[in-house]
Amino acid sequence: MTVRDTPGVPFGPRGPGAAPEAAEGADEFLLRQIAGALAFLSRLCTVPHPVYPAKVQNAYNRLVLHCLRRGEEPPGSIPEMVRWACERPLPEWPLDLPDEAKSLTGPLVDPESRLPHQSCLEWEVNAADPAAELFENQRILEALAVCRAARNPQAYTAFRSLLTNRPVLTGVDLALLGGNAEFGMLLHHIIKQCYEPVPASYLGDDGTYRQCGRCRCLMVPLPDGSHRCELDRCRRDVTSHAATLLRADQSGLHQLSRPLRMFVTSPGIAETDIEAALRTRFGIVAEMWPNYDAYDLRVPLPGLRHWAVDVKDRVNPVQLARTLTPFRTDPPYDRAFLVVPHYRFRENEAYGRQFHRHLPDDLTGRVTLVDDRTFLRLVGEEAATLPGTGRSRKEGERHA
């Protein structure tokens, strides 16, 4: 995921700063407000008192008015609106939404963990008022600015790798990062703002936390005593990944804020998986986040050619298409790919068609949408044009 489409940042006329209610249906705009309210509630550390924040109350008031105008029974309170989000899939909401939106049949909020699903956070991304979301983006943009001023792209790459590979840190770990030779003194003040103390809701009955064996994020305890990873990729993965038990040190336990876990760590895992596959299968060393995150991977190929790759792990292909912007051309490339994990296409067989139907005309033909398996197969075919790489091609075809 590159910074140019990080949630909450308006880029160009299609960004959230440009007349959102005029650019989309009023019901879709209302859904964005509701999603923003649900996400806001999930980030509160204390019970709202004496009244709910304006962002939450306004979304609820608009939903009630909308229901009354349609002759529908509205939710009787904000907690009941949250109950709707836990129990009702989008097609059952009294909202006129595009057919593609109605195909996302799950609820906005996990009924067991009571945390918003990724689909809910994606609806929040292009909300009319991105001020709350800008805080998360500001950390990334500030890191970019600091590294550019220091002319140190390696520090930014190391920073992105940290957010991908270490979403959970003890208080001691967080303090020791200040002495990191790659980015410590340069970015430590930003890193400390990216991580937040882990709330007690993640603590199990046995006094331990559980860290997902795949993404390394903390797992959420459920009422039946089990635990669940909050990232879509891990929950849908059929491969078992044993959890790691963690205990907080005297300085406590810290984790990346949830938007960063969802929109930086999650796609970052897909990016590093592709980088590792390129290296092990084909001996290709891709450059990660080149030129301060112009795109995610720059893949060298025979004939001094390069492919540019941006990795997205989005539930909604329509929002992905609407918010996509052209790849930066420095460093240069010969072909641009938008790569989405295979499981998204497996869950939604119309993913590609819905994406292309909503892709802006100025991007048609400039970027190729594929899943990660197909991309690795295509690289294998290209790599096989090098002398002595026939074995790599067979391996790529078998695994891709």
pLDDT band at 8 (very low <50, low <70, confident <90, very high): very low
pLDDT band at 397 (very low <50, low <70, confident <90, very high): very low
State which amino acid sits at residue 139.
Answer: R
pLDDT: is 104 or 196 the higher one?
196
Q: How many CB atoms lie within 10 A of CB 34?
A: 26
Q: For the chain, where are the alpha helices, taking DSSP H only? A: 20-23, 26-43, 54-70, 78-87, 99-102, 118-125, 131-149, 153-165, 171-176, 184-194, 232-236, 258-260, 266-282, 290-293, 317-323, 342-347, 351-358, 372-383, 390-399
User: What are 340's strand-pairing partners?
Assistant: 371
Instruction: Kindly list the distances between the CA atom of residue 178 and the CA atoms of 29, 136, 189, 250, 265, in Å, as whole numbers in the listed order.
Output: 42, 21, 8, 18, 21
Q: Percent of the chain scored above 90 by pLDDT? A: 48
Q: Tell me the per-residue pLDDT of 190-219, one tens digit each, with 9 for 90 and over.
A: 999 999 999 888 888 888 899 998 899 999
> What is the torsional sign of CA 25, 30, 36, 42?
negative
Predicted local confidence at residue 53, as pLDDT: 86
CB 127 within 8 A of CB 62: no
Predicted local confidence at residue 30, as pLDDT: 93
State which amino acid sits at residue 6.
Answer: T
pLDDT greater than 60 at residue 135:
no
Summarize the confidence of residues 57-75 as an average pLDDT. 94
pLDDT greater than 60 at residue 382:
yes
Q: Tell me the per-residue pLDDT of 13-65, one tens digit each, with 9 for 90 and over.
A: 334 344 444 445 788 889 989 998 998 888 776 666 667 888 899 999 999 99
Predicted local confidence at residue 151, as pLDDT: 93
Summarize the confidence of residues 144-158 as an average pLDDT. 93
CB 355 within 8 A of CB 363: no
Calculate the average pLDDT of the chain: 83
Predicted local confidence at residue 66, as pLDDT: 95
Predicted local confidence at residue 136, as pLDDT: 62
Predicted local confidence at residue 12, as pLDDT: 32
User: What are 244's strand-pairing partners?
Assistant: 211
Predicted local confidence at residue 237, as pLDDT: 67
pLDDT greater than 50 at residue 392:
no
Q: Tell me the per-residue pLDDT of 239-293, one tens digit each, with 9 for 90 and over.
A: 556 788 888 777 789 999 888 888 889 889 999 999 999 999 999 999 999 999 9
Q: Tell me the per-residue pLDDT of 86-96, one tens digit each, with 9 for 90 and over.
A: 999 888 899 98
